[in-house]
Amino acid sequence: MISVEDWAEIRRLHKSEKMAIKAIARQLGVARNTVRAALSSDGPPKYERAPAGSVVDAFEPQIRALLSRTPTMPATVIAERIGWTRSASVLRAKVAELRPLFAPPDPADRTEYQPGEIVQCDLWFPPKIVRVAADVWTAPPVLTMVAAWSGFIAAVLLPSRTTGDLLAGMWQLLSGSFGGVPKTLVWDNESGIGQHRRLTVAARAFAGTLGTRIFQTRPRDPEAKGVVERANGFLQTSFLPGREFGSPAEFNTQLAAWLPKANQRLLRRTGARPADRLAADAAAMGVLPPVPPAVGFTDRIRLGRDYYVRVMGNDYSVDPAAIGRFVDITCDLEHVTVSCAGTVVAEHERCWDLRRTITDPAHVAAAKQLRAAFQSRNTPTTGRVEPSHQVGMRSLSDYDALFNLNTAPAQSVKEVA
């Protein structure tokens, strides 16, 4: 077989120099049949080595039989069924080659997005690097929302993945970062939003107030929201490395300072910067509602003698003057507020840890005063208490005459004897 250089030279001499086959063969020192073959070939010569075969080829009929019955059978199970004792990588390569012949294809179509149409939502879970208390590190979820057409990323760290916190985070990002309401909010099978494509009551109320639709994808279908999945990977590799966070507020501060830079990068998918396309995306979205939707955690209970309320796994003190009365609890992403008959009786910064007791010293002092006043009111006075007026004593014979009771004269002991 001649080399590619000789093949190219033969064709050049024959076409450009108008040399005959015999002259080309004499000049290059090759056979005339080699020159004829080079001139008649459509492409350069290439060396193809005959496959030497593999030890797994003898097991191919058994592998095919197993895959025909169960196309999704793992390679480890196939190795056990056929008695494979050699290299696992060789068997995996063979199974990967044969599996497409039996498994039905599952193509993923390219999706064309329109401005203001879709915002994809997802939760990203960084490692335990956020300090929520002294020597307590945790990994709260980060709500990530990406406008599908522009690629604009908005994100915020949440205390939990409960329904109230998810809706509060969505409202904060929609009103603060996007400035509008898309036609559809895409979620996966997140339990705080709904399961089996059945939204929670709070999520349905949230969508109704905003005039939008919350669509949940099928389980194990990450391609349906690939835009936000790639954004989560971008946060993991570009924002997180080398950072330390002393509190959740510090995490959100650093994240808010980094996101404008991230939205200035050039996207290969769109060929533009997300920040440059955000205005057109927001202009196609719906307007924000005049009344904010109900988000966060709310509850109404009767305050007990313990003058504490439990909110999202923590206990918060309340003014003890409200003991025995109904109080309304409101919890957002940052504060816990308790009111009684329209008057605020407690206001605390929200704790991101669990099983903590948050106490206001003013509430303890008020409870001490109320307890002292209660005890002094119910303590009996020492000494004899004189009656304020005299009560008359009635003769017993008056009662006998009233009930017609005739009593016999008492007999002496001697008469009875």
Averaged pLDDT, 77-94: 94
- Residue 197 is predicted with a pLDDT of 81
- Residue 309 is predicted with a pLDDT of 97
- In the predicted model, is pLDDT for residue 340 greater than 60? yes
- Residue 130 is predicted with a pLDDT of 82
Q: What is the C-alpha to C-alpha distance for residues 21 and 386, in angstroms, rounded to an integer?
A: 147
Nearest to 360 by CA among 328, 408, 320, 396: 320
pLDDT 10s digits, 190-208: 999 998 889 999 999 999 9
Averaged pLDDT, 341-358: 94
What's the whole-model pTM score? 0.70
- In the predicted model, is pLDDT for residue 416 greater than 70? no
Block residue for tokens 């009684």 = 340
- Residue 199 is predicted with a pLDDT of 95
- Residue 380 is predicted with a pLDDT of 59
Block residue for tokens 């993923």 = 108
- Residue 105 is predicted with a pLDDT of 82
- Residue 106 is predicted with a pLDDT of 76
More confident residue, 249 or 48: 249
Q: Using an 8 Å Cβ cutoff, are 315 and 324 in contact? A: no
Averaged pLDDT, 59-65: 94
φ/ψ of residue 151, rounded to 5: 80, 10
Q: What is the C-alpha to C-alpha distance for residues 258 and 109, in angstroms, rounded to an integer?
A: 33
**Strand 142-147, strand 118-124: pairing:** antiparallel
- In the predicted model, is pLDDT for residue 99 greater than 70? yes
φ/ψ of residue 149, rounded to 5: -75, -45
385: confidence class by pLDDT, cuts 50, 70, 90: very low
Q: Which amino acid is at 211?
A: G
Q: Using an 8 Å Cβ cutoff, are 142 and 125 in contact? A: yes
Please provide the average confidence, as pLDDT, over all residues in the chain.
Answer: 89
- Residue 417 is predicted with a pLDDT of 41
